Structure 1
Amino acid sequence: MMGSATLQKITDISQKMASEIHLRSLRDSFIITVPFLVLAGLFIMVNYVFLDPKGWIASSLTSETLTSLRSVGDRILNGTMNILSLMLVILISWNIATKRKFATPVIPAMVSLAVFLVLMPNTLTLVPVGAERAVEVNGVISYGLTNAGGVFVAILAAVLATDLFLWISNSKRLQIRLGDDVPPMVAQSFQSMFSIMLTVLAFAIVAVAVHGIFHMEVNEIIQKAIQAPLVHLTTNLPGFLTLTTLTNLLFSLGIHPSGIINPILEPPLLVAMQENMAAFAKGEVPPHIIVLPFRDLYGHMGGTGTTLALLIALFLRSKMSSHKKFARTVLAPGIFNINEPVIFGFPVLYNPLIMIPFVIYPQINFIIAYFATQWGMVSKIVAYVPWSVPPLLSGWLGSGGDFRNVILQILLLMLGVMIYLPFLAAYERSLLSAKKQKLVNEIAENAQIGIAASEPKTQTAKTIILMCNEGMSTSIMARKMSQFAQSAGYPFTIYAINVGRLQEEYQKADLILLGPQLGYMRESICEEIGNRCPVQPLDAGYFSKLDGKAAVLAALPLFNS
């Protein structure tokens, strides 16, 4: 195992990265855009699979009806996929300003949107419909600049414009004071106006200067110098495997990669996904094999590490009744790719025999899926599929309805079962030989009995907030805890949130319980909320068994800590 000093260094670095405001703002902003991308992916399927002019549905419709139906999808694509960058520039800026506790975060969000548009070219060269020659057009904005093609311009515009705006707003030297006789609202409005003017003016000057010096627009330079290399890095098999291996390794050490690897990995893969969707919509060959859902379809079946294969292996060959019972408990969330109970409760965490297949097996899947796609054995991914869509269904949706991708997922799961089985057998032998399982069960039962006996019921209304990366795994636990609290007469309000909603919700909390995957962030979260209430990680044992009763009883003494 890794030395404790090295592990502590990794944990410290990870906590700093996961707590970094800009990375957190990127993560939270991309989470909000997921429903729009799912809707876009759905109507890519509807328009170009179900309503394909050469398909069987089209043969039963008139051309006018078919055109009208497809126009619904076209408009939805314009309002989702084609304005992704506009959404992101507002969301990222708003999140940064909120996390920096700016009083009116909508103001820097609008400033960032203005800056994003300031960086756009004044003139576009376009080919009119039915024409052969391009013409120059003024006063228009291309969807190619506001869809995923403008994601990195949006990120940079939001980060730089928001930081500049907040710096000007906080600098007394750059504030105009109107005197004590002016009402505070008027003074605040004028100060914001001055900050807005300076920020937008600064970026306009930069855009004109860049164009004058390099004869290129800012967005062109960002596209060539930043976006294109990052897309190439992450859609290139070696680069992709490096980042996904690091993702799985961090998770097996109890460090959630969402705030560390994902802000680096996901934006360029999202650009690649958009390029595939746009090409598919035009009837062209999608350019990329590796896109954002490629990771989830082939390497995250059941969650990170494709632990669905581990659960199947437990059902098939486990010699321990406790393991089979555990597999039955966590199978339902596992089907929807929620596997934190497996990672922290089986556990994968710090378990060398299970960590090895957990880290390596998904990379084998990626390699097989990559070459199967390259050789034309399965289709490229052409529709955005969220990570929570169950395996098999995700393969069918993501490929635009190709059942070969579903068969590939089945074969990869079977391969995973065969890979996990020998490691599982070795792990169970080590437990049985040392009789560790019996000892663990006795300690857990005694601890629970002690808690239940020593803690009196409280009649004071309390609010317990459970928090994890996206609020999915903890929402199941929150429901179990609420059911027990209600039946036992505890006046508790218990609900789950994702980490991005902390600032909105923490003032309501008497206790914040962190999913085990966020346990390493406890100190930074305590600092962020000013130690307003206790913050503690959920016990991994209770979490893995979804034991709401034990979690509530264990929470009672924490209210006074």
Structure 2
Amino acid sequence: MQGLMNWLEKYIIPVATKIGNQKHLIALRDAFIGTMPATMAGSIAVLLNAFLRDFPTNWGWTGVVKAMEPIVAVNGFIYTGSLAIVAVIFSISLGYNLAKAYHVDPLAGAVVSIAAFIMGLTQTAETSLTLSQKLPANVISLIEEAGGTVTDGTTIGAKAWGFFNFGTHMGGSGLFTAIIFGFISVIIFSKLMKANITIKMPDSVPPAVSKAFAAIIPACVALYTAGIINYGFATLTGMPMIDWITDTIQQPLLHLSQGFGSVVLVVFLIHLLWFFGIHGDNVMAPVLSTIWGNAMNQNMNAFQSGAEIPYKWVSGTFNAFVWPGGSGATLMLVAAILVFSKRADQLTVAKLSLAPGLFNINEPVMFGMPIVLNPLYMIPVILVPCVTAGITYFATMTDLVKPVVVSVIWVMPPIINGFLATGGDWHSIILSIVNLFVGFLLWTPFVLAANKMNLEENN
């Protein structure tokens, strides 16, 4: 065991530490965190509509649905301004945090990032109308002269400029494009700002005006670069770059994220880092937010519109079921200590950690027990969440439990978290209880071993 720990400390932990301190990844992580005010508001709106409209409709409570129509309509506005345009919101947050990491004007960075993202969106909407009867030839000619199309004499097609595609580009499906063009544009902007390739104003000019003028040249270069990339790609391939990114990069990664190996690998790495005192959730946040967070947003959009849920494993699944009480499922360690421990030191820490643990705050037990760098607890802190991930994976992939479709704030207590996250699926309660029980069973032998170790040390 000691040899393994030495090897990990020598080769793995330095790499993980560098990754955790990498400014671009920190900016990406903080960008996702920065969207939380909007995404949580949108999640609450989606959840309320599920309980005020969707469930009563399924139960035949038409009177309740009718009475709740004003609230449902307001929730619709909240959803439109949050989850429906989450890629736009994220683009602003990424530009701000990335410019901040480079120590240049963060507001200008946010403006550059959103401009670079918006310029790549398609602006033409297409629609069609199928008729029950075939149109006469003269009517078809009139439609085609006006710029429309007629197929088989029964289907009328038309398109118009000036319409952004909410569902395809501005929601969760546009996140990868926002990330790519946010990084390209803001890094160029920041490098030019740091090189002082700017318009310098006299000291007498107000600071706000001076900052704005200083950002003009870097912003122009950054945005023209993004524009040339979009134009060149569309000219060579005949398709918008945002659609290519979605089909070629985003979808394969999302498909890969649904595999059992991907899920367990991420859970393993998070808790291995935790054992060495590194906040595993923060280090892996760029992966969790970019891939599984994207799937989460698409699930919420589908749930709001009543469409088929596209992904069964999303970022919210980890918080709802895999690690109740925080990373390592340490709430069950606290419970096992309170039931079986004979060590006064661990009992004291467990009592102090119980209340925070109910709200998924596990730092008191991680560092107070401690679990960090404690060889006895290395195995369970990694094993328990891997096992609960396996149980959850089986339950969701076999449709025993509905997928997570609502983003619930991470401090929501276990069981309640899963119920709300799945949009009110009562099967989630059973899954949460099973995972809590399994976690308790797996932690207990190590608590008993700690008792024996304490007895031997006293002797």
Aligned position for 1:414: 437
- 2:392 aligned with 1:392: no
Q: Is the 8 A contact 1:124 1:136 kept in 2?
A: yes
The 1:241/1:199 distance shift into structure 2, 3 A limit, reads same
Aligned-residue RMSD, C-alpha? 2.6
Identity over aligned pairs, percent: 28
| 1:268 to partner: Cα distance | 1.3
Partners of 2:287 and 2:420 in 1: how far apart? 26
Aligned position for 2:341: 318
Aligned position for 2:379: 356
Partners of 1:189 and 1:395 in 2: how far apart? 47
Q: Is the 8 A contact 2:128 2:157 kept in 1?
A: yes
Partners of 2:129 and 2:36 in 1: how far apart? 33
Aligned position for 2:107: 106
Aligned position for 2:271: 248
Aligned position for 2:186: 162
Partners of 2:390 and 2:128 in 1: how far apart? 40
Partners of 1:11 and 1:364 in 2: how far apart? 24
SS in 2 for 1:54: helix
| 1:420 to partner: Cα distance | 1.0
Aligned position for 1:93: 95
Aligned position for 1:210: 233
Q: Is the 8 A contact 2:184 2:226 kept in 1?
A: no
Aligned position for 1:146: 170
1:383 partner amino acid: V
Q: Is the 8 A contact 2:84 2:301 kept in 1?
A: no
Alignment of 1:21-420 (within 5 A): 21-52=23-54, 54-55=57-58, 58-61=61-64, 63=66, 65-102=67-104, 104-126=105-127, 135-144=158-167, 145-171=169-195, 174-175=197-198, 189-420=212-443
| 1:6 to partner: Cα distance | 4.2
Q: Is the 8 A contact 2:313 2:396 kept in 1?
A: no
The 1:350/1:106 distance shift into structure 2, 3 A limit, reads same
The 1:324/1:16 distance shift into structure 2, 3 A limit, reads same
Q: 189-198 or 296-305: which moved more?
A: 189-198
Partners of 1:188 and 1:283 in 2: how far apart? 46
Partners of 2:284 and 2:402 in 1: how far apart? 27
Q: Which of 408, 433, 454 matches 2:456?
A: 433
Q: Is the 8 A contact 1:297 1:391 kept in 2?
A: yes
Aligned position for 2:148: none
| 1:346 to partner: Cα distance | 1.1
| 1:212 to partner: Cα distance | 0.5
Gaps in structure 1 of 5+ consecutive residues: 437-561
SS in 2 for 1:136: strand
1:39 partner amino acid: A
Q: Deviations over 1:445-482 (max 9, x none)?
A: xxxxxxxxxxxxxxxxxxxxxxxxxxxxxxxxxxxxxx
Aligned length: 432
Partners of 2:421 and 2:198 in 1: how far apart? 52
SS in 2 for 1:98: helix
The 1:25/1:187 distance shift into structure 2, 3 A limit, reads closer
| 1:80 to partner: Cα distance | 1.2
Gaps in structure 2 of 5+ consecutive residues: 133-154
Q: Deviations over 1:489-519 (max 9, x none)?
A: xxxxxxxxxxxxxxxxxxxxxxxxxxxxxxx
1:251 partner amino acid: W
The 1:14/1:134 distance shift into structure 2, 3 A limit, reads farther
